[in-house]
Structure 1
Amino acid sequence: MTLNQRRLAVDPDHNKIPIVRQCELLDLARSSLYYTPCRDTDYNEQLMRLLDEQYMKTPCYGVDKMTAWLRREGHPVNSKRTRRLLRLMGIEAIYPHGKRNLSEPNKEHKIFPYLLREVTVDQVNQVWSTDITYIRMHHGWVYLTAVIDWYSRYVLSWEVSVTLEPSFCIEALKRALEEGTPSIFNTDQGSQFTCNDFTRVLLDRGIQVSMDGRGRYLDNIFVERLWRTVKVEEVYLRDYDTVTEAVYYLGCYFKFYNYERLHESLGYQTPAEVYFGALAPPVALRAPSGAKAPKSVISPSKKVNIFV
């Protein structure tokens, strides 16, 4: 298990095993359980919420335009602060033809060419892709990655992490590959996806690696649309208090997305219906370890009790 998985596995409400013993069994330092490297001031968290929602509306806004927008909203910030927060969130402006971006890929990692230009995707498991997005919580935030099949829009796997270390992306990739094997796997040029540990998993299986042009929105359009859908239909409607809540409710949403949500572009079918077709019955999407129902959660309108 990765460090992030071991953190998520700890149950602070367990009535038989105390937290100290759980940490011992998981070989986890208790101090690391309470350490949240993604925390900042309350005001910065407020700014990040605003930046996240505005990014969903205007993904082409870079540092300068985001700074100007925040100032128009009454927040006297400078571009240095905006740049730092956007980097912390893993957000960069996207452009039709590629342009400057906020973060540089690791120069020691190999960058693979983009293979999908003028390619017609007409079957499942032809092209998969992945990406990372920022998920806000009541205090702090986490990062979400997912692997999606382009043709069916089916989400094959997903993981949540409190850091941008590559391990949670690699774990999501390995779990997705238990469902099938794509011909081409597309990513952006972020260091999580260009690192040898990630690309080796693909190359060892004979999968072609494709990487977006820097900052090109259309090169990974289906993942970008997925993030917009997840945030508008799930994340922005809640205010997660804990990582456990975020993992649980994201798991509920992805099951809905795969097995119930109708897609106009799929002829009003669900992603699971297109991905599995008549060949195999749908299998419930497995959530990362730690995706359990919290005893209670706070929604924007009321308290909802979850009984398990």
Structure 2
Amino acid sequence: MGENRVARLMQVWGMKARTHRIYRRLLTRRAVLKAWPNYRLTLDKPVAVNQQWSSDVTYIKMGRKNVFLAVVLDLYSRRIIGWKLEANLNSDLSRGALRQAVADRSPLPGLLLHTDRGTEFRALKMRDMLKRHQVRHSMSRPGYCTDNAEVESFFKSLKGELLHATSYITLRQLRRHIKHYIERFYNTQRLHSSLGYRTPLEFEGDN
């Protein structure tokens, strides 16, 4: 029986062909970006500055939208050594915070940077930057947010001590207050129990 005859009879009888939809899983950009193992699990705690850093990004509500803060923390002293606040979440944000930390601290080759598995840390631009400065990249295990607990603790302190019940109208205003919190309070005045109730600045000076 010919194709046209089948089509005509189906139309007369009100029949429609039922097809099975084929789903093809396409590789997204997120899927092809490489993730690194958690090298922190096999290392001892740092005994000096610029041996192990940690970085992460959090969102901050500003009116009806979110803005994003990236920080870099020295795991030895818990000092915030780089940060960047912007309206958009991308690799430029995380690289900006890291660029500030590298410029201020001038680490030697072999530094370990630990992050989560966000695409902003797996982006090619970030990988090129780490390679250029000879930084070894470590990433948290999937589902283990505690692998980056030190930065998470900073974000909790920042939001509880500075941002809670406070509203900001402009990004410039928020940036100014975060700068004051980090440089005039968190690094220089806030006592940390993990540092023997010293500030990060004092801990670095005493050691």
Fold shared, TM-score > 0.5 on shorter chain: yes
Give me the whole-angstrom Cα distance separating, in 1, the residues matched to 2:206 and 2:78.
Answer: 17
C-alpha RMSD of the superposition: 1.8
1:226 is paired with a residue of what secondary structure?
helix
Give me the whole-angstrom Cα distance separating, in 2, the residues matched to 1:199 and 1:273.
Answer: 33
Match of 1:110 in 2: 34
Q: TM-score of the superposition, structure 1-length normalised?
A: 0.54
Match of 1:165 in 2: 90
Q: Do structure 1's residue 215 and structure 2's residue 135 form an aligned pair?
A: no
Structure 2, unmatched stretches of 5+, are 1-27
Map 1:232-271 onto structure 2 (within 5 A): 232-255=160-183, 256-271=185-200
- In structure 2, relative to structure 1, the CA distance for the partners of 1:191 and 1:105 (3 Å cut) is farther
Equivalent residue letter for 1:180: S
Give the Å deviation of 1:273. 1.8
Map 1:20-169 onto structure 2 (within 5 A): 106-121=30-45, 122-169=47-94
**Structure 1 range deviating more: 155-164 or 119-128:** 119-128
Identity across the alignment (%): 31
Give the Å deviation of 1:141. 2.4
Give me the whole-angstrom Cα distance separating, in 2, the residues matched to 1:239 and 1:138.
Answer: 7
**Is the 1:136–1:235 contact (alpha carbons within 8 Å) kept by the matching residues of 2?**
no
Q: Do structure 1's residue 273 and structure 2's residue 202 form an aligned pair?
A: yes
- In structure 2, relative to structure 1, the CA distance for the partners of 1:105 and 1:253 (3 Å cut) is farther
Equivalent residue letter for 1:272: L
Q: Do structure 1's residue 194 and structure 2's residue 118 form an aligned pair?
A: no
Give me the whole-angstrom Cα distance separating, in 2, the residues matched to 1:183 and 1:166.
Answer: 20
Give the Å deviation of 1:136. 1.3
**Is the 1:157–1:172 contact (alpha carbons within 8 Å) kept by the matching residues of 2?**
yes
Equivalent residue letter for 1:248: R
Give me the whole-angstrom Cα distance separating, in 2, the residues matched to 1:199 and 1:162.
Answer: 23
Give me the whole-angstrom Cα distance separating, in 2, the residues matched to 1:174 and 1:259.
Answer: 22
Equivalent residue letter for 1:270: T
With CA pairs under 8 Å and 6+ residues apart, which has the higher RCO, 1 or 2?
2
Give me the whole-angstrom Cα distance separating, in 2, the residues matched to 1:252 and 1:184.
Answer: 28
- Which protein shows a greater Rg? 2
Q: TM-score of the superposition, structure 2-length normalised?
A: 0.79
Count of residues paired in the alignment: 175
**Is the 1:145–1:160 contact (alpha carbons within 8 Å) kept by the matching residues of 2?**
yes
2:154 is paired with a residue of what secondary structure?
helix
